[in-house]
Amino acid sequence: MLPNETDSPIDRDPEIVHYATNNDKHTTPASKDDYSLNIFQSSLNQLVHILIGIIVGVSLLFALRDGFPTDATSQHVILCVLGYQLLMGQAILSLSPHNGWSSRLKLVHKRRAHWILQVLGSSLTLAGCHIQVVDKGVYWNTMSHTLHGMFAQLSMVFSVVSLANGLTSLYANELSKFRVPPSLSKLTHICFGIVGFTTASIALCFGFDRIEFRNWASDSFTTSMIIFVATFTTIIIINPFITFYNKSRVLFKNNL
C-alpha cells in the first residue's frame, strides 16, 4: 500500500442518510432534495462521459482521415487527446463521489486509479507534444506564436508540475514530520491540476478552430465541438474546485 493511503469501506448508498449510533444500524431515507441533487449530479457525470466520448471520437476520426497516422500532426492529435481529455479527465473524475465507474471503489483504490491515470495521461501528452515540436523543428519561443501553442505550453508546464506535486501530496503525512502542512501539498496539487486541465481544453478549442479542422468538418460542427469541450471541462473542474475551496478555508482557519 502506498504512503498516505488509508483503506476505507465502500461508499454507502447515496439515497440513504446514515446516522452514527452505538450499533451503527439505524438509517433514515434521504430527503427529497438530497435525492434530487444526487440524480442531478449523476446526470451531469453521465453527460460528461458522453461529451468526452464525442470529442475523443471525432478527434481520432480527424487524425485518421487519411489512414494510418504517419505524420507528426496526426500523432500529436491522437496522443494529446487521449492523454488530456480521456485519461487525465478520468483521473479527475475518479475522485468524484458521483462518478459511475469509481463511485463504489474504496478510497485507497480511488487514489490509486487517480495517480495511475494521471501518469499515463501525462506520458501520452508529453510524447504527443514532443513529436510535434521535433517535427516542426521549433522550440519553446516559436510555439507561443499561436494561441493553440501558448495554451499548450501552459498545459504542459502545469501538468508536469501537478504530476510532480502529486508525489508530495501522496507523501503528505510523511512530510508533515518536517513541518510541511499536509493540506498545503494537496492544495497545490489540486490547483495545478485544475489549471493544467483547463488550459489543455482551451488549447484543444483553438486546435479545432484551425482551418484544417474547419475544412474537414464545418463551421457549425466546429462551434458545437468547442461548446462540448467548454461544457465538460466546466463540469469536471467543479468538484476539485469545491475541494480546493473547502481545504483552503480549513487551512486558513487553522493558521489564524
Q: Profile the chain (256 residues) by mean pLDDT over runs of 10 residues.
A: 41 38 46 81 92 96 88 92 95 89 88 91 91 70 72 89 77 61 78 93 95 93 97 93 86 72
Q: Which three cell numbers stand for residue 43?
A: 446526470
* Residue labelled with grid coordinates 488549447: 203
Q: Which class is 41-254 in CATH?
A: mainly alpha
Q: How many CB atoms lie within 10 A of CB 46?
A: 12
pLDDT at 255: 67
Per-residue b or e along 27-44, where b marks 16 or more CB atoms closer than 10 Å to that residue's CB = eeebeeeeeeebeebbeb
Instruction: At 17, give phi and psi (nearest 5°).
Output: -90, 120
| pTM metric for this prediction | 0.80
Ordered by start, the domain boundaries in the chain are 41-254
* 3-class SS string, 137-169: CCCHHHHCCCHHHHHHHHHHHHHHHHHHHHHHH
Burial of 134 (0-12, 13-18, 19+ CB in 10 A): exposed
User: Is the separation of the CB atoms in 169 and 186 below 8 Å?
Assistant: yes
